[in-house]
Amino acid sequence: MAQPVVSEEQATPRAYDIEKIRRDFPILKRDVASGAKLVYLDNAATSQRPVQVIAEITRFYRDHNANIHRGVHTLSQEATGLYEGVREQTRAFLNAPDAREIVFTSGTTESINLVAHGWARKFLQPGDEIVTSELEHHSNIVPWQMLRDELGIKLKFIPMLADGTLDLEAARELMGPKTKLLAISSMSNALGSIIPLEELIPLAKEQGAIVLLDAAQAVPHLPVDVQALGADFVAFSAHKMLGPTGVGVLWGRFELLDAMDPFMGGGDMILTVTKESSTWAEVPAKLEAGTPNIAGVVGFGAALKYLDELGMDQVRAHELDLTRYAMARLGDVPGVTIYGPSEAEDRGGVISFSLEDVHPHDIGQVLDDHGVAIRAGHHCAQPVMAALEVPATARASFYIYNTRDEVDSLVSAVEATSRMFGTS
């Protein structure tokens, strides 16, 4: 994944007005637990929403609510215009060639399953191979296992190394003439590891394979240009990038989307229907059956505008500063083990850690008593936990509104946890 070069001095640009940003997120003013001020560090699971997104959803329901693509009346035309306008916004955000390549789904999971059902089931044969990795979220493993069992294809995993990176030598050996699909994350949700796509994608292309990226963690945090990446499908979710839940995106090369079978049948995805047969609408309509989450998509447009105005290079720089600072501070706490790449530049704003002799769920509970919200568990990435030989980790993840003071609160709460459990 392409990243801007950021020096120590430029880690958080002067133009990045963190106080102004934080004022846009009312939930950050909340008190939680025993009156403690909320420190929200569970952004890899879902981000918070600014007032601009909340207002846009309210405005849609208040002023424009109607179904899309079907009506000639004013409200339907307005709703359709708003919905399709966000398709164009998304195209521009990704630098995609054609707005028709943007398919709205319910989230990354549906986007990946859409490729599994609409493309892979149609074009893969017994003996064909799909390559993925041990770093994947379950959403980029389970659909391929189901397809393997149904079609008789083979599923191979690029091993994870001890430092939370992928074994690229093993990847070269795994990919061959039978490799038809590389399904790989852009960034690990469990460890924050940034995947070297500039090396993996060419390996797959040398074998004539299609490349699908689970970019749920990358698109919210890094500049992403789908044309520069050279991938064929990119899947991500709105709710991890300031938008509503229940909205996702699948970008795909037009010729691939056009060749796919529909995932679901129903309204708005057909051209003609008779009692004997049906024909499909053009892309993307044929892949968007039924009434979508119209208000959610419209709200996602406000989220895209917010991030565009902020600048994804600035988002990355801010998170890099926080991650570097947090790794240094947490690394000084006795008994803390940080998992994943040792350099902040090699990871996103995610720190997965453990505290000696304390279960991650206990860490999460004590931190919540201090107002610090993190995630504790296997993070829907059990193969990662198996490779680390741990049952779970505690995970702190940062976004545009987090501060160094909040990192200090995290560290203080971890130190309190250590004292409570008598960690050496």
| Domain range annotation of the chain | 18-32+312-421, 54-309
Per-residue pLDDT of the chain (424 residues; tens, 9 = 90+): 443 333 343 344 447 999 999 999 999 999 997 789 999 999 999 999 999 999 999 999 999 999 999 889 999 999 999 999 999 999 999 999 999 999 999 999 999 999 999 999 999 999 999 999 999 999 999 999 999 999 999 999 999 999 999 999 999 999 999 999 999 999 999 999 999 999 999 999 999 999 999 999 999 999 999 999 999 999 999 999 999 999 999 999 999 999 999 989 998 898 999 999 999 989 999 999 999 999 999 999 999 999 999 999 999 999 999 999 999 999 999 999 999 999 999 999 999 999 999 999 999 999 999 999 999 999 999 999 999 999 999 999 999 999 999 999 999 999 999 999 987 5
* Cut 0.85: pTM above it: yes
List the catalytic residues. 380
* Backbone CA torsion sign across 90, 94, 98, 100: negative
Query: How far apart are alpha carbons 265 and 249 in whole angstroms?
Result: 19
What are the structure tokens assigned to 151, written together? 């079609």
Helix (H, G, I), strand (E, B) or coil at 75: helix
Query: How far apart are alpha carbons 358 and 268 in whole angstroms?
Result: 53
What are the structure tokens assigned to 207, written together? 């074998």
Fold topology of 54-309: Aspartate Aminotransferase; domain 2 (3.40.640)
Residue count (the chain): 424
Query: How far apart are alpha carbons 215 and 187 in whole angstroms?
Result: 7
Query: How far apart are alpha carbons 416 and 367 in whole angstroms?
Result: 9
Class of domain 18-32+312-421: alpha beta
Helix (H, G, I), strand (E, B) or coil at 236: strand
Query: Cβ contacts of residue 135 below 8 Å, gap of 6+?
Result: 160, 164, 166, 185, 188, 190, 191, 193, 195, 381, 383, 384
Query: How far apart are alpha carbons 374 and 357 in whole angstroms?
Result: 19
Long-range contacts of 177-180 (CB under 8 A, 24+ apart): 177/207, 177/208, 178/127, 178/128, 178/129, 178/154, 179/129, 179/130, 179/131, 179/204, 179/207, 179/209, 180/120, 180/123, 180/124, 180/128, 180/129, 180/130, 180/153, 180/209, 180/210
